[in-house]
Amino acid sequence: MCRKVAILGAGSWATALAVLLANKGLRVAVWSRRAQLAEEINNKRENMRYLPGVNLSGEIKFTDNMEEVLSGAGYVVFSVPSFAFRDVLREALPHLPAGSAIINGAKGLELDTLLRLSEVFYQEAGPGKFEYVVLSGPSHAEEVSRGIPTAVVCAGYSEEYAAAAQDLFMTENFRVYTSSDVRGVELGGALKNIIALGTGISEGLGYGDNTTAALMTRGLAEITRLGVTMGANPSTFAGLAGVGDLIVTCTSRHSRNRRAGIEIGKGKSLQEALAIVKMVVEGVRTTSAARRLADLHGVEMPITEQIYLVLYDDLSPREAVINLMNRDRRNELESNLG
């Protein structure tokens, strides 16, 4: 195994992965777009902006020099917001070491094109030059960085490279499974953020566990409907990248999407909620992208539709709940399929 890993991005998840890898004795170089942030983290040995309270070892170096970060790296981990993925990739491509494994930890869809991030990657990098693996599953940075037991999945088109990513990240506290269903893993990781916004809105309205359970269960059904229609393996949505990630994102105090939803449920505007969270809330863009994908593929996604109307058309959250509760009567097993 190459002893150097490059990480592009300096947010909470990038920092948590850097901690995990450095604890395995690897050299970790982390790229930050902002030189001031990189200098601050190097000096204080703590990412106070995105992951406060976690000590960073001397094996982790932050810099805004991308060429330096990528030089000699055997693995390159992308950990930037989905909306920035294409631009960062374009900047990185001239410096990516030949034969390096590309591992993407972002969970989202490209809003303008509706592409999954693997599709964005191969559109920019071309076929055959690099192997792409996606890392997903229920894995909040705040817990991974502190060694709390976690299980995730690495999905790749190449079994060899998925296994290599598995070996890279696997520790006694971080269990990694492999998968060949890149499509399903990417869609599960992206779409669960929409449902987490919904459970947060429900909590902000003062509703209880019954409502949360209903949203999560029916949300998983519509995620699976869209995913299978788009060619994903239905079993993926019963696994870590599906129901696993859905549970943690919909219920955890660490979830940005849930926190934003809570503020919206309490009456804040979308922009006010985002200002309170202060970090990227992937579910906002994903809601818009998923609604368009549902229309494109003729898939019914009622929860996504109502959340879109709340976020973008000023529908009141209580009215959205009424709309969902008063839909036509359905058979549950039949409605799971379409």
**192 a catalytic residue:** yes
b/e map 303-333, b = 16+ CB within 10 Å: bbbbbbbbbeeeeebeebbeebeeeeeeeee
Torsions phi, psi of 196, nearest 5?
A: -65, -35
Torsions phi, psi of 23, nearest 5?
A: -65, -15
Identified catalytic residue from 44, 107, 192, 268: 192
Nearest to 202 by CA among 263, 265, 149, 111: 265
Nearest to 118 by CA among 151, 83, 85, 162: 85
Nearest to 21 by CA among 75, 66, 63, 71: 75
Token readout for 13 is 């998840």
Q: Are 242 and 217 in contact (CB under 8 A)?
A: no
| Separation of alpha carbons 140 and 232, rounded Å | 24
Q: Cα dist. 27→19, 58, 145 in Å?
A: 10, 9, 16
Q: Which residues contact 117 (CB under 8 A, 6 or more apart)?
A: 82, 85, 104, 106, 108, 109, 110, 134, 186
Q: Which residues are catalytic?
A: 192
